[in-house]
Amino acid sequence: MSVDVEMDERALREIYLPAFKAAVREGGVLCVMGAYNRFRGDFCCENDYLLNHVLKGDWGFRGAVISDWGAVHDTRAAVLHGLDLEMGTELPYDQFHLAQPFLDGIRRGLYPVALLDDKVRRNLRVMLATGAFDPPNPGGPSGAINTPEHQAVARRVAAESMVLLKNDNRALPLELEKISSIVVIGEDAVRLQCHLGGSARLKAFYEVSPLEGILRRVGPRANVTFSQGYSSRLTPGAPDSATLIANAVRAARSADVAVIVAGLNLARGRNYTDIGLVQGDDEHFDAEEADRKDLGLPYNQDELIRSVVAANPKTVVVLVSAGAVEMGSWLGRVPAVLQAWYGGMEGGNALAGILFGDINPSGKLPCTFPVRLSDSPAHALGAYPGRDGVERYSEGLLVGYRWYDTRPVAPLFPFGHGLSYTRFGYSGLRIVREGDPSTTPAWAVRFDVTNIGDRAGAETAQIYVRELHPGVFRPFKELKGFSKVFLEPGEKRTLSVTLPIAALSFYSPGLAAWVADKGEFGVMVGSSSRDIRLQGPLRLERTTVLADRELGRQ
């Protein structure tokens, strides 16, 4: 609500703005929401540089800028610095900063009517585009929700997102014909998450928990039991942590396979009532308005995992969390680890499909999992939690995998990592110039991917670029494209990913433009940022300078 973020211009343009720029220039979004915090001294909803100069100026955004709820603080700054629609200010509606105070300012000549016209025009564009003025059509087609088709999509999305982190000796998938008993351990196996999550909560029609998904999949073919293992709220009279672990160990020792569903939990959020699903919890780890204190698993889950795998080496760990957790004390002892995130309404069915081999996992990590929190850039540099209300992003361009690959620092699991129940071979890299040589250059990166395993599966090939002799500081390598392909056993497919001139460029604050320097570049194709399979050279014959508007069209 109050922190002031400071970062250099290259980090802003190269790291933090590209996703927003793509949403505007390529996705054609109608609205952009301003954040709560300050950026370089000004609140984001009243930030002339971000809203007027970059968003509406450089990118040509013609839609409406909307505030986050209660994120506006000053009428003059909001009016002049790019806000078009104010939401959630905790005042009577006519006292909102863009309500009566704005009107009074117009009447007194403090603000030009042209500013009001522009804000009205932007809001009208959104309303027209979304059919707000369309006449009602009672006899027209009606929508549908929660159909079998919707449920299938939810299941597929959950399954494709899950990441197989480790799978020694093909511990997964589980073969039911060889298993007579399974114990499922962990509170997150029965916790329902969809109704939680603060302002990101979902009103799901139903939610299949991990345990329910496993029970549905196994049916009568094996005996499935449940042991809580840990509790997020130890109430008077309830078993303590040591008792819960001891119970889980006994259950694991007598089962053929143990599946531990460990991890974190979503926040209920302020003003949300407990609707009676599992137990409420006093402490939340994936939440808005708060940071996790560390990357450890809470509620003695590390001890639980160590104890269970000691009792039963055939233990699979499923992690339910929004991000990385430390695993050092038990990772070497556990044969298989699956990152399941928060799977949504069909998450339990998707999880069971992967565990028992109906679905071949194909997810890749969208972030780096560090060995320990102190390895991450903000903590390694002592930049967190800032000083005197100012948070300086002193890592600059070295965000995520760029930090770990440039320093270098060994990650627990690298960006882009994700295993499969099959294997993929890479071959035949070709880097071919595309388009008219007299125009802005682009290249096609072509290569072959072959399923060299014994079952169908999908692979996401990643293309990284490195400038070999940069004139300015650049990360060791940067992701510039990817392509996902589904292959039957033995099938080979040629993939092609286009590298525009933008893929070679960096932002020059002095020129206020993007620059691709003449020189040599390396193109790397891999299965993750640390698993590079193919490499080849690319040469740029002349230095190219492009303004942000021009680069957006590449």
What are the tokens at 523? 């193109």
Q: In what order do the strands lie in the sheet with 513-516?
A: 506-508, 513-516, 544-546
List b or e across 304-329, with b for residues whose CB sees 16 or more CB atoms inside 10 angstroms: bbebbbebbebbbbbbbbeebbbbee
Quick one: which of 528, 486, 525 has its CA closest to 366? 528
What are the tokens at 327? 């695993």
Do 62 and 44 meet the contact criterion of CB atoms below 8 Å apart?
no
In angstroms, the CA 8 to CA 510 distance is 12
232's CB contacts (< 8 A; 6+ apart) are 187, 265, 279, 281, 282, 283, 298, 299
Find residue 460's DSSP bridge partners.
484
If you ran DSSP here, which 8-state letter would residue 50 be given? I
In angstroms, the CA 479 to CA 494 distance is 20
Do 265 and 323 meet the contact criterion of CB atoms below 8 Å apart?
no
Do 443 and 499 meet the contact criterion of CB atoms below 8 Å apart?
yes
In angstroms, the CA 172 to CA 128 distance is 52
Helical pair 241-253 and 301-311, crossing angle rounded to 10 deg? 20
In angstroms, the CA 145 to CA 148 distance is 9
378's CB contacts (< 8 A; 6+ apart) are 384, 393, 395
Catalytic residues: 68
Give the pairing of strands 163-167 and 181-185.
unpaired
If you ran DSSP here, which 8-state letter would residue 14 be given? I
For residue 131, the tally of other CB atoms under 10 A from its CB is: 8
What are the tokens at 99? 């309500």
In angstroms, the CA 298 to CA 232 distance is 8
In angstroms, the CA 349 to CA 208 distance is 7
| 3-class DSSP state of 165 | strand
What are the tokens at 180? 């007579």
Cis before 441 (ω within 30): no
In angstroms, the CA 126 to CA 31 distance is 8
Helical pair 100-107 and 113-129, crossing angle rounded to 10 deg? 140
Sort 367 into a burial class: Cβ within 10 Å, 0-12 / 13-18 / 19+. middle
